């Protein structure tokens, strides 16, 4: 691909949805001496090289995120 553009998709649990991974990390940080951590949420970063950004929205909606439990945002980074 000559004109590939780099797209970064961020997928994370919707607000209010239980995030057991985030909770576990939040509890682990003080044990290491890091204080003042109020919330931790864990999501997923997906980087793709695509010919065009036209289809990215559809990719997010149909496969990359589950709209029932997750929200997503994406950007062209280069």
CA–CA separation, 52 and 29 (whole Å): 40
Q: Is 56 in the site for another protein (CB under 8 A)?
A: no
CA–CA separation, 69 and 74 (whole Å): 17
Decide whether 3 or 63 has the Cβ nearer to another protein. Answer: 63
Q: Is 69 in the site for another protein (CB under 8 A)?
A: yes
Q: Is 45 in the site for another protein (CB under 8 A)?
A: no
Q: Under the rule (CB under 8 A), what is the footprint of another protein?
A: 17-18, 20-21, 23-24, 63-64, 66, 68-69
């Amino acid at each position: 691909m000559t004109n590939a553009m780099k797209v970064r998709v961020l997928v994370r649990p919707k607000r209010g949805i239980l995030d057991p991974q985030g909770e576990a990390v939040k509890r682990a940080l003080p044990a290491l001496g890091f204080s003042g951590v109020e919330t931790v949420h864990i999501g997923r970063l997906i980087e793709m090289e695509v010919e065009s950004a036209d289809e990215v929205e559809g990719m997010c909606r149909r496969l990359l995120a589950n709209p029932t439990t997750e929200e997503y945002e994406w950007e062209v980074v280069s």
